[in-house]
Amino acid sequence: MDRNNSLIALQNKDYGMVREMSSVLGISRDLMKDKIKSINLVLLIQVVAVLMIETIRRNNKYFLYSEGKVTFSTMLMLLLAVVLLVRKNEQIFNNSKYRLIPMSETRLYFGNLVTSCLTYLYVVFGEFIIFNIAFYMVTDGQRYAFTVANLTDTRLLAYRLKLVLIVSLGVVLVLTISTMFHFLTNMLSNFIVWKNLKIMMTMFYSVILVITFLTFYQTIRFVSRLSLEQYGGMSDSFIKIILIYLIPIIILTVVNIYSLNRWSETIR
């Protein structure tokens, strides 16, 4: 009797876990936890880089332009975070832990995409704090990169909101493009007689790295253009920039959801 009760309790527990995972909140919470655990590596590398820059600066008087080196390392880590998120984003579609959950492919796709964006914003916030502290250190406590007065300046608030929106759309665009290439690679692998997983993955991430860099570069150009118009309110160029990101995102999302449904039917 005790054994039967234990089995029933275990089955109820498993059912409860599956039911929780199949809900939007459950899958999102699990995905966020999984991604943040992986992406914390970026913040750790940035902290180590800042400590190295500060140590070298204090022991070498010819080590100049420390502010520029801190800025460069921050930009590099933000770029690395996108690449790592792309990798994690694509692994979700191949992970049986998520593939076997009784939920629609559309819900899994959007849950994966939204949590990746939220994880990137988490990285941006962490990098912002590290960057500000590092800037204070390398200037010997003379100034911060951003002060409270600077951050609360209402004249710059609209510009910063635009900046966050553009960067977020840039990340979404990279993720949707990478997902399209992921499904395309899986589809082509069925027609290639000679298969080498390492070579295919190297080619895949090489293409994604190039796309990420180009998107990152274009985003910086858009942000630079907006910085010249920050006192002009909602400009026509801002709307055009949003459309440049939004139109391909919508098209790729439709294509990706269709591909995911077709792929799911194939592997079932």
**Looking at the structure, do residues 44 and 90 belong to the same domain, yes or no?**
yes
> Is a pLDDT exceeding 80 seen at residue 178?
yes
Q: How far apart are CA 13 and CA 52, in angstroms?
A: 48
Q: How far apart are CA 151 and CA 7, in angstroms?
A: 57
> Which DSSP state fits 143?
-
Residues 6+ apart with CB under 8 A from 34: 88
3-19 burial code (b ≥16 CB/10 A, e <16):
eeeeeeeeeeeeeeeee
- In a domain? residue 190: yes
Which residues constitute the domain of residue 137? 24-148
Q: What is the pLDDT of residues 87-140, one digit of tens each?
A: 888 888 777 676 666 667 788 888 888 888 889 989 988 988 888 888 877 776
**Looking at the structure, do residues 74 and 113 belong to the same domain, yes or no?**
yes
**Looking at the structure, do residues 28 and 122 belong to the same domain, yes or no?**
yes
| Number of domains the chain contains | 2
Q: How far apart are the first and last CA of the chain?
A: 37
How many helices and strands in the chain, by DSSP H and E?
9, 0
More confident residue, 18 or 153: 153
> Is a pLDDT exceeding 70 seen at residue 51?
yes
Q: How far apart are CA 252 and CA 175, in angstroms?
A: 10
Three-state DSSP at 246 gives helix
**Looking at the structure, do residues 134 and 218 belong to the same domain, yes or no?**
no
Nearest to 92 by CA among 118, 110, 65, 70: 110
Q: What is the pLDDT of residues 68-92, one digit of tens each?
A: 788 888 888 888 888 888 888 888 8
**Looking at the structure, do residues 161 and 203 belong to the same domain, yes or no?**
yes
Q: What is the pLDDT of residues 53-68, one digit of tens each?
A: 888 877 777 666 677 7
Write out the DSSP string of 175-236: HHHHHHHHHHHHHHHTT-SS--HHHHHHHHHHHHHHHHHHHHHHHHHHHHHHHTTTTS-S-H
> Which DSSP state fits 61?
T
Q: How far apart are CA 84 and CA 204, in angstroms?
A: 13
Q: pTM of this prediction?
A: 0.77
Separation of CA 143 from chain center: 30
Average pLDDT of the chain, as a whole number: 75
Taking 3-state DSSP, the helix, strand and coil percentages for the chain, each rounded to the nearest 5, stand at 85, 0, 15
- In a domain? residue 5: no
- In a domain? residue 207: yes
